[in-house]
Amino acid sequence: MKLLVGLGNPEKKYDGTYHNMGFFVLDKFAEKFNADFDKKKHNCKLGFLETNDDIIMLAKPLTYMNLSGNAVLELKKKYNLKNTDILVVVDDIDLPVGTYRYKSGGSGGTHNGMRNIVSQIGTDFPRLRIGIGKPEDIPLIDFVLKKIPPQEKQIFEEVADEAIDVIAEKLGVQDV
């Protein structure tokens, strides 16, 4: 089993914000591969995707961003997963808008959700960071919880499509 986690905040008011980029990418991944988030267990909305030789669990933590590690740790223990079986998708202010970066380990950086995951399970898990850019004139918390403006939505649609291809390759998922 593999675990694909998208980070975000669970309330509807956070839909379409920069900080919910992980949820956005996971939703698009689920749509592309016909997986539904039809279960609520282990502090997450869960979906499952069966491949030829594995099961991929898709998880959107309901713990809010800064406590994402609690949900990831619970799933890791429940399903006896190794850190290398876990892939986390997250927004990143240190990458320019329209870019992404896959990395197989590292620190939590400036992202509180990633810091919390690192504090719970360690640093040796893959992550795909989606660049949201760095604000120049507003506090960081206000920026990440801001709705993505219409002129940037198409950019994020395109980067999400590219990210989904990377995720599918890393998890061994074929097009359906």
Tokens standing for residue 1 = 């089993």
Judged on CB neighbours under 10 Å (0-12, 13-18, 19+), 38 is: exposed
Q: How many residues does the chain have?
A: 176
For 101-160, the DSSP string reads EEES----TT-HHHHHHHHHH-S-S-EEEEE----SSS-HHHHHTSBPPHHHHHHHHHHH
Q: What tokens appear for 171 in the block?
A: 């998890």
Marked catalytic residue, from 19, 42, 60, 129? 19
**42 a catalytic residue:** no
How many helices (H) and strands (E) the chain has is answered by: 5, 7
| Active site residues per annotation | 19
